[in-house]
Structure 1
Amino acid sequence: MTSLQYISWPVLALMAFVNVIGFDDIIYNFKNQGLGVITSWIILFSLYIIPYGLMVGQLGSTFSSEGGGLTTWIRETSGETLGFFTAWTYWVASIPYVVDTANSVVVAIGWLINGDNSMERNMSNQMFALLTFLVFIVFILLQSRLRHSLQILSIVGGGAMFLMTVLFVILTAVDLVGGAKIASAPLNVGMFVPKFNLHFLSTLGLLIYATSGSEIVAPYVTRMKNPRRDFPKSIILLTAMAGFLTIFGSFSLGVFFNHNHLPVDLKMNGSYYAFDIVGQQLGLGHSMLFAFTITQLLYMFALLALLLDAMTRMLVSDTSPHFMPKQLLKINKNGIPINGYILTSALSAGILLLGVFLPNMNEIFNWLLNLNGIVSPYVTCWIFFAFMQIRKRSSEFNSAYVFIKNDKVAYWVGFWCFAVTFIAATFGVFPQDVPFGSGTYWHELILNIITPAIMLALGWILPLIARWQNDN
């Protein structure tokens, strides 16, 4: 391997960054915890995100010859059956993410056309669900033609989103220097301390959801010149970049929004509100709003197309055929697992149908987003489970990069991350954005229990169908 083929540690950090933190992630968690989220971010990055990333580095290095994916890690440490359920849970947990992304496309188009949130006021739940599903179908139809160009677009969209987030922090500083008043003033130490109650616990899953994803760079660990020395540098740089944006981004939001009286629809429209406010206060009119809206559309277009392709391919190609019904393994002339796409569409339609009966468009958006804060952390638990397995049987697994030389200490650090993630996902079942005990609260609580249960049950049904087909 020549030096030109090596990936430098700053490049690897940037590759991971665009898959970990976006401006919307800062908005969502600011809505949940106000300025107290700054303390939550600091604790999370210090005690969770750094070890999480370094564990991913060892797993990717250990199984580099097999591709280094999550399914591979579980299959190689715990067998084919658990490998299949890892692939299934990873895929099915991506369904709410895909639907939420399609929702965000519809919302962004509304802002681009109207320049405000009037779509939310005028659109029925049924129309919102229908438009979301149409966006979904259009991208499936275009997938085979646009897949390669949209991979490039994902780099452009992700990079632009990063720059817009940095720009927002810089413009906030400029605005403050110019004498702007802080909406959350007067500031005091107590405002930066989270309130430790059931609501706080129910929001931890969304924090973990916002910061997960560094496993995407695991296969590249062995393409570094000195992974033992350079990979920790990448994770530290990633943590520093993400920490800077989440901490200062959250404070910047506190400048423009009173954290004690946040808009009800902040999760859905907060990004647009924020860029519009900062643009107008600096005398730029609505230009910042439209610049962000276009960036958001580019980012969501690429993310949606790549998610649809990657998640379906992983399920049908990275699992043993005797776990999958033969219909799902069908590949069309364009190399697309077409029946896998159909199954994805059907489950997405089912989730959209469940959400239609919520009170309004904002509640649909919030429920889908919070559903990600349940299912995504549960899947992240597989990462720590795999790490615990390789450290418990370290003599069987060799790695160019090792996180913590002492196996027992490493195992318990893995267990710590596993426990935190599992607890956060479990408490995420409790609704966050509606009054406790209201009709909508119980409605969403039931949905948060039965939706993951149905998803998991389907994972048990597919191997039974496959076994019946093989027997007959």
Structure 2
Amino acid sequence: MIQDQSESKKMTWYTLALMAFSTVWGFGNVVNGYVYFNGTQVIFSWILMFALYFVPYALMVGELGAAFKDSEGGVSSWVNATMGNKWAYYAGWTYWACHIVYISSKGTGGLRAMAWGILGNTNWYDKLPTYQVQLATLAVFLFFCWVTSRGMTVLKGLATVAGTSMFVMSILYIVMMFAAPAINPHANYLTIDLNWKHLLPTFNVKYLTSLSILVFAVGGCEKISPYVNKVKNPSKNFPRSMIALAVMVVVSAILGTFAMAMMFSPKVINADLDNYISNGAYIAFAKLGQYYHVGNLFMYIYAWCNVIGQFSTLVISIDAPLRMLLGSKEAQEFIPSKLLKLNKHGAYINGIWLVVVLSGGLILIQSVVPGSTQVMSQLVKLNSTTMPLRYLWVFAAYIALRKHRDKFKAGYEMTKSQGLAFTAGIWCFLVTLACCLLGIYSTDTFTLILNIATPIILIALGLILPAIKRREDAAKAN
């Protein structure tokens, strides 16, 4: 009877699928895809990315989740079980290091959202000297580092509310955009031309170096792995949730692209690319409000949801990856003891200082970039080349899982064929790595240097810390 009551409290597979969808997907992914891939031409790329990458990725996560349903550590736990604690440290380090760039973009994004929410545009904000904007961004970043060090959790609760509201706004945009012609038939809508010319992309250098944007957009479903054992019949229902997630993301991406195509011409976007990368979502909601005769109402709602979302995510991104890395028993033997220091509020204070140095340094370096819109555009691209590196560990863990198939019994398998399983794992690993490496390329020298230097510095630091730990242990032994 107790077991039945416990089972009744567990979530259904479709609840988990919706939770994963709101975590993985957002309106920004639709905008970035449309902007970077010349309008409706992104549909071909979305379909290709979903069929050859996202669907096997989601199914692999489903199998890993089913195999390690009692593990709540996510990717690091999977790597530890299949490859050992040293590799688990590197997986945890990669996850944390990728967030260094992400953290610096949250402050920038939050201030831009505030400009839209207060002024209704970014004309004044974008005219400010870049160093002033970056100093303001640094001040915001340092404030939220202090908030994190004090163990304040109120913004973590707001992150859930903001994330849900942003998800709702994303779906509403699609629904309301398709309904707009019936509400306001005389507004200026664009006709969607679905001939082959407007759907097939041009496979050039720009296309190949932008694929990391799509990989970044569809990745991250492994973040819900801690909820595996909170689902009814996890071996069966967790993979089912991953399949439902894949379907919802496919539908949202394609319908969102059609909605954008009714509103924006690719020629207009390409003529002012940095502006649309930085402000495209706000411009879209402002136009939507005009169609419904409510002015900038939708844009203001979206902007303030984004303000809360950006700043609350900033706190979580400082705190959660750090706790995953430094709080892992497997990783602690590779990390110097000074980084493991907790303050009276239970925060890893020296770890936070390391974040301050790295993310703060990145914010200051970008003071030399000519214009805040270009800073935002640069961060979007840098995130797309660094954040997907953490997905590599998912595929590495999956390959290791299938290699030791007899040792780890999963209630669900993506495929019974070992050859097909290894091919899928290696394929997704290579696609991720290739897209990240290609995404580094830029015609702008400063951006290129930043894209190369950032991952090198972070990887080097991850290799140096175990060496410091060994020296520390040797000193204690003597």
Alignment partner of 1:100 out of 105, 116, 135 = 105
Query: 2:222 aligns to what?
Result: 215
For residues 174-253 of structure 1, the aligned pairs below 5 Å read 174-177=179-182, 178-179=184-185, 180-183=187-190, 188-253=195-260
Task: Report how far residue 185 of structure 1 moved.
Answer: 5.4
Tell me which residue corresponds to 1:46: 51
Is contact 2:336–2:465 with CA below 8 Å preserved after alignment?
Answer: yes
1:444 counterpart residue number: 447
Residue 100 of structure 1 deviates from its aligned partner by 0.9
Q: 1:110 to 1:407 in 2, by over 3 A?
A: same
Name the structure 2 match of 1:290.
Answer: 300
Map residues 71-470 of structure 1 onto 2, 5 A cutoff: 71-143=76-148, 147-177=152-182, 178-179=184-185, 180-183=187-190, 188-262=195-269, 263-264=272-273, 265-318=275-328, 319-431=330-442, 436=443, 441-470=444-473
User: Helix, strand or coil: the match of 1:65?
Assistant: coil
Distance 1:76 1:237 in 2: 27
Mapped partners of 1:210, 1:130: distance in 2: 29
Residue 343 of structure 1 deviates from its aligned partner by 0.4
Cα distance in 1 for residues equivalent to 2:373 and 2:240: 41
Report the CA distance between 1:391 and its aligned residue. Answer: 0.3
1:57 maps to a residue whose letter is: G
SS of alignment partner, residue 396 of structure 1: coil
Q: How many residues matched?
A: 464
| TM-fit CA distance, 1:184 | 6.2
Amino acid at match of 2:233: N
Deviations 1:181-233 (A, max 9, x none): 43365553321222111111111111111111110111222332223432233
Question: Do the aligned partners of 1:9 and 1:231 also contact (CA within 8 Å) in 2?
Answer: yes
Question: How far, CA to CA, are the matches of 1:227 and 1:155 in structure 2?
Answer: 24
Aligned partner (choices 467, 470, 474) of residue 471 of structure 1: 474
Superposition deviation, residue 329 in structure 1: 0.2
Segments of structure 1 that go 5 or more residues without pairing to the other structure are none
Say whether the 8 Å CA contact 1:120–1:362 is kept in structure 2.
no
Q: Using the alignment, how far apart are the partners of 1:4 and 1:305 within structure 2?
A: 34
Counterpart Cα distance in 2 of 1:196 and 1:257: 22
Superposition RMSD on alpha carbons, in Å? 1.8
The separation in 2 between residues aligned to 1:374 and 1:110, in whole angstroms, is: 27
Task: Determine if contact 1:184/1:259 at 8 Å carries over to the other structure.
Answer: no
Q: How big is the shift at 1:268?
A: 0.9
Residue type matched to 1:458 in 2? L
Q: Which amino acid aligns with 2:263?
A: F
Matches within 5 A, 1:6-25: 6-25=10-29
- TM-score, reference length from structure 2: 0.93
Distance 1:245 1:417, change over 3 A: same
Query: 2:145·2:352 contact (CA, 8 Å) conserved in 1?
Result: yes
Deviation at 1:144, TM superposition (A): 5.5
Normalising by structure 1, report the TM-score: 0.94
| Structure 2: runs of 5+ lacking an equivalent | none
| 4+ aligned runs moved over 4 Å, structure 1 | 144-147, 184-187
- Measure the CA separation in 2 of the matches of 1:346 and 1:72: 28
1:25 shift after superposition = 1.6
Does 315-324 or 268-277 show the bigger shift?
315-324
The Cα offsets for residues 417-460 of structure 1, whole Å up to 9 and x where unpaired, read as: 111111111111112xxxx4xxxx12211221111111111111
Shift of 1:165: 1.0
